[in-house]
Amino acid sequence: MINEIISMNGYGAYVWSAFSFTLISFAVLYTVIKIQLVKEQRKIKQKFAILNYKKIKIAKTQNIYREILDNTSISKI
């Protein structure tokens, strides 16, 4: 029974290689995107760390910066 699932009437090598290639591609893509996200979050955090209180308050009123700040720990200031 297991051999039938693995061999899939002679198409098993193609199916399992395509399946494994897809899973590996998704894992690599997820890892690359996660690394880039963390990198960009650090950049934003460093950018807002050098601002004074008044500039942070102004940035929090702007929509795009409000969304960015909601996802970082600097918004707790």
Rounded to the nearest angstrom, the gap between the alpha carbon of residue 22 and the centroid of all alpha carbons in its chain is 18
Q: How many residues does the chain have?
A: 77
DSSP state of 52: -
Write down the residue that tokens 């950049």 correspond to. Answer: 43
- pTM for the predicted model, two decimal places: 0.58
Enumerate the domain spans of the chain: 2-76
Q: What is the pLDDT of residues 2-42, one digit of tens each?
A: 888 888 888 889 999 999 999 999 999 999 999 999 999 89
Q: Which residues contact 10 (CB under 8 A, 6 or more apart)?
A: none
